Structure 1
Amino acid sequence: MGSAPITGGRDTAAAEGDVVVFLIGVRINRWRAVRHWLPVVAAMPRMLKELSRDGESGLLSLRALGGGPRVHGFVQYWESREKLLSYASAQGREHHPAWSAFNRRARSAKGAVGIWHETYIVPAGSYESVYVDMPTAGLGAAWGVEPIGRHEDRAAQRLAGGAA
């Protein structure tokens, strides 16, 4: 996002319907246990590459989360809960063997590496966004942006669909 072009003016995300937000990350708990944490850290780029190449996967957008040298994470926006869950359980995709390997490794790793994820299904009308002189980001990167209309100037108005 650092070198992305700035869109002028005030925009909001053009999302419609429910929004699926998935947060995922890994935490290196013991630096010296490289053989336990390196495969976990290395699995994420493979999964993200696979998802970005597959336009039907349902992954709309992602962004790295800061967290220091121990923590690596991403916020992801998905087309639907069904597509997220389908990817997570698909036998022939990168996630399934990575998850199985993590679970096997976790038994012997004794806390050397941790993973976390959170899934949010945000109902239509329960999210809002504003981007002022910003490169496209977040929900706007996932769904595109549109100019804020005069009846959507405030966050309360956007949350109420312009009715506030």
Structure 2
Amino acid sequence: MSTPSQTVGPYLGLGLPWDDGPSVVDEGTPGAVWIRGVVYDGAGKLVPDALIETWQADADGRFDHPDDPRGATSGFRGFGRCPTNDEGEYGIRTVVPGALPGEAPHINVSVFARGLLHRVVTRIYFPGNAEANAADPVLAAVPEDRRGTLIATESGDGYTFDVRLQGEGETVFFDV
């Protein structure tokens, strides 16, 4: 007997935050930037109880993971998690990742929110990498008129990346 699927529900904010939270790198890390944004639902309303989770390579394009034998920079976690606030805003302090073999610099993003049966997965790419972005096989597979939903914009102390779960300007999500 199987149980029915459940949406993520409002309790993810209680069970999923972790100690390092939005800090992929420590304060004062050279090259540290903030990735900030807002999560919107299909009606364009703010989502005050979503959770953004990131996983990325370090500035040299290496992961802190056993599957990457090169290893990451000492002390680099590569993982961040931030709940949205009452205005639907999140922020992750990190470094811009280096390029991976055959891929442009990017950050992997999972979004959890009430009403979703499963997390949705997307990527953040960076402006100023036109050549690398054009050669990235994942970004190239996205219809050209939708690629902009995956590219952050520069802001004062880093980048802005809004997530639109549905509707006009919906962020591209990947079936993983």
TM-score, length-scaled by structure 1: 0.30
TM-score (norm 2): 0.29
Greater RCO (CA < 8 Å, at least 6 residues apart) = 1
